Amino acid sequence: MKTRLKPWQQTLAFGSLAFVLGWTVFGLYAIWLMLTQG
């Protein structure tokens, strides 16, 4: 059984997740730049 996260821990964990997913969009943009502009 897993211990439940406290509200601030949930905020931090999901905030970090949102950040890395957002950064992934940046990564995709970088790929697009490299493919189109070399």
Partner 1 sequence: MKLSKEAREVLDAAKRHNRVSPEEDRDIEEVVALLPDDRSMLYKNVDSNPIGDFYRYSIHIRIQHLLIFSTFLLLAFTGLPIHYNMAFWAQPFNSVLGGLEVTRVIHRTLAVTMIFAMVYHVLTIGIGTLVRLRARTFEFGRTILPRLRDISDFKEDMLFFSGKRSLRPEMDKFMYKQKIHYFAAAFGNTVMVVSGSTFLFPDFWASVLPVEMASYFQEMMRLSHPHEALLALLVVAFWHWYNVHLAPGRFPMQWTYLTGKITREHQIEEHFLEYLRCIVAMPDERRYLTNLINGKKLRGARPNDRDEARPAYMGEPQGGLQAEMPD
Euclidean distance between CA atoms 5 and 9, whole angstroms: 6
Q: Which residue type does 27 have?
A: G
SS3 of 3, please? coil
Q: Is 37 in the site for partner 1 (CB under 8 A)?
A: yes
Of the two residues 3 and 7, which places its CB atom closer to partner 1 in the complex? 3
Restricting to residues 7-36, name those near partner 1 by CB under 8 A: 9-10, 12-14, 16-17, 20, 23-24, 26-27, 30-31, 33-34
SS3 of 1, please? coil
The two structure tokens encoding residue 1: 């059984």
Residues that bind partner 1 (CB under 8 A): 1-3, 5, 9-10, 12-14, 16-17, 20, 23-24, 26-27, 30-31, 33-34, 37
